[in-house]
Structure 1
């Protein structure tokens, strides 16, 4: 009985052409499709970094406090304007940040410049090829998209509109931020970023689809 049971177990693990498909590479043209699909999914995963989600969340929390729920006085308007400027600047700043690892594996963060990267905590430490980290036109494009997304959401916020006595139809305030957010998200996926700055998921540091070489 023991030998019979053992034989049944062995046969149950043998390949059966009718039970499942082999997962080997068959050399078809699906490799290009899979690469494009992976690129799209990877770009979608980066939307939480490229889009100003943290800035919008902070604005949603502090806007009712700074505007006194839309019933603003002169001080409230100045505070709201200052907070808007700081939040808009943060949208641009974080998209210009980047990171690199030394030979020992230590991680350094910095800001992309025209000549390379200026590190926060690295002193004179620089990556092996500083030119790969220099500021590019695509970075300005990403920063502009992030700024537009934030200003659209903030400018059409109900408390902001009431604070500055602006009257905009409710359909516009409800639909425009969604449309703008969707269009900008698509552009971020189509034109992805290779930056691994502040807020970039640590586990995705070695993504083959976004290597610099």
Structure 2
């Protein structure tokens, strides 16, 4: 084999090695990008838990429950007040799960509630987004509303004043452990299956997150 043939063979081998290195780098980049996307999804969902969970409702319930139940020493009227407040709080968990928002061409922010036909704004439905069907009610909204409701009812049913008010006897281990287990399970599901809604109390600027672009 002459020198020119050897030189061509060396060049071919070098070019094949470069291509293999290129493909390996591309595969690594794809794997890294997939890992980063999954990590960003988890971290983004975790950061939104304070909104997706009924945090404000639970805080309000914690403040008013001792007042409405007289520290657990309820009479008939106080039991009715507590029942009404409990139902109102549960309804708020469902309601806020269905709220959404959008901006008009002028940049004005409008809030509304998702329906089967689209979003119904709180100004009587006069203002609508460019594509109302993008905001229609979905099964995922019902799923998130149920998770929020379960989290609140578990907390409320484990509240000491509520149990004393209705003369319910529950072991302390149950009242201490069940809310934690349910809260962890609900939080995990909300992180894995996040909501696309940008409702009341949700920062609208987060809608620029690519993870939550509407289909």
Question: Superposed, which structure 2 residues align to 1:24-173 within 5 Å?
Answer: 27=26, 28=29, 29-121=31-123, 123-173=125-175
Q: Is the 8 A contact 2:79 2:166 kept in 1?
A: yes
CA distance in 1, matches of 2:92, 2:125: 23
CA distance in 2, matches of 1:43, 1:133: 20
CA distance in 2, matches of 1:175, 1:90: 25
Q: Is the 8 A contact 2:98 2:114 kept in 1?
A: yes
CA-CA distance at 1:121 after TM superposition: 3.1
Could you say which residue in structure 2 is the equivalent of 1:13? none
CA distance in 2, matches of 1:123, 1:113: 11
Q: Give the CA RMSD over aligned residues.
A: 1.1
CA-CA distance at 1:123 after TM superposition: 4.5
1:186 corresponds to which of 181, 185, 188: 188
Q: Is the 8 A contact 1:108 1:122 kept in 2?
A: no
Could you say which residue in structure 2 is the equivalent of 1:201? 203
Indicate the larger mover: 78-87 or 198-207: 198-207
CA distance in 1, matches of 2:74, 2:53: 29
CA distance in 2, matches of 1:159, 1:122: 40
Q: Is the 8 A contact 1:152 1:180 kept in 2?
A: yes
* Count of residue pairs the alignment pairs up: 188
3-state DSSP of counterpart to 2:177: helix
Indicate the larger mover: 101-110 or 55-64: 101-110
Deviations 1:165-194 (A, max 9, x none): 000000000010010000000000111110
- Which stretches of structure 1, 4 residues or longer, exceed 3 Å deviation after superposition? none
Q: Is the 8 A contact 2:207 2:213 kept in 1?
A: no
CA-CA distance at 1:71 after TM superposition: 0.5
Q: Is the 8 A contact 1:77 1:164 kept in 2?
A: yes
**TM-score, with length taken from structure 2:** 0.85
Greater Rg, structure 1 or structure 2? 2
**TM-score, with length taken from structure 1:** 0.86
